[in-house]
Structures are given as C-alpha cells and as structure tokens.
Amino acid sequence: MATFYFAIVGTNDSPLYEAEFGAQREENKYLQQFVVHAALDLVDDAQFMTNACYLKTVDRYNDWSVSAYVTPSNIRLMLLHEAKAEEAIKSFFTACHELYMKTLLNPFYQPNATIQSQAFDIKVHTLSKKYLL
C-alpha cells in the first residue's frame, strides 16, 4: 500500500501542517519527519535555480523520494512518497497551494502559525484521495 507524508513548512522551517495518507507503519513516522526536514536544505539550494514553483523531486532516501513545491511567499509544501506520477503530485500541490492561500487570507490567521482548522484537514485528505491514492 502506498504511503505518503505531507508537510507544510513555514519560513522559519517549522511545520505548519502535517498529514499522512495511505497505510503507515508505526516506526516510520519519525523517520519520515526527519527525512523531510533534511530535504529542506536541498530545497533551499534548488529554489534559486528556477523561477518555477514546483521543484520536482529534490531528495531520495532508500526507496522514498521527497518532492517539493515552494509558494511565492516562501512556504514549502513537501511530500514524501514512493515512486509516483509527477503530474498527479503537481496537481495535488497546486490544489494544496490554493487551500493554503485561502487560509492565509483569513485576517485572524498569523502567517507561520500552525493550521488547526478541521475543514482544512478534511479538504487535504479529500485531495489526497483524489490525486494520490
């Protein structure tokens, strides 16, 4: 069963939102967080090379790969996955970016604060079922 770990990382490198899709094994949770955090450095390097938002696969660890998408306001959407079609991941990222933007437009939401809205959570899981699983 394919497993995915999705994280939205703020400008100060702390996660604003995390989610897991697909079947998970208990011991992998912390490892996934660690791998994604390590991949942030590679994202920092890659983001000056191109003007695009979607930075395909930035890192590989055993059989997991980490893909990244950077929003104009420097928020990183990271997805840890096993081999998966790039198009599907790109559409997933674009849809999540829209959701993040709508959350940002809420004047009561401080930029770089954790996203605790349940509606956001439900929507992200729906998107994951649509594009990833």
Partner 1 sequence: MTSSQQQQVQSMLRLDTKQSKRSTLLLEQPVTRQRRDKVSLSAFAFLFAEMIRYTQNRVLGIQDLETKLNELGQRVGVRVFELTMSREKTVRRETRVLQMLVYINSVVWRALFDKPADSLERSTENEDEYMITDNEPDILKYISVPKEMASFSPGAFISGIVESISVCCQCPARVTSHVVPAEGMPVRTVILLKFDKEVMERERRLEAGKSK
Which parts of this chain interact with partner 1 (CB under 8 A)?
11, 47-48, 51-53, 70-74, 94, 97-99, 101-107, 111, 117-120, 123
Q: With respect to partner 1, which residue has the nearer C-beta, 86 or 98? A: 98
Report which residue type is found at 6: F
Q: What does the block give as tokens for 73?
A: 């306001």
Q: With respect to partner 1, which residue has the nearer C-beta, 33 or 91? A: 91
Q: Which of 54, 111, 104 is nearest to 79 (CA)?
A: 54
Q: With respect to partner 1, which residue has the nearer C-beta, 32 or 67? A: 67
| Cβ 31 vs Cβ 52: under 8 Å | no
| Cβ 8 vs Cβ 16: under 8 Å | yes
Instruction: Supply the minimum distance, in Å, between the C-beta of residue 12 and partner 1.
Output: 12
Report which residue type is found at 38: A
Instruction: Supply the minimum distance, in Å, between the C-beta of residue 92 and partner 1.
Output: 15
Q: With respect to partner 1, which residue has the nearer C-beta, 82 or 86? A: 86
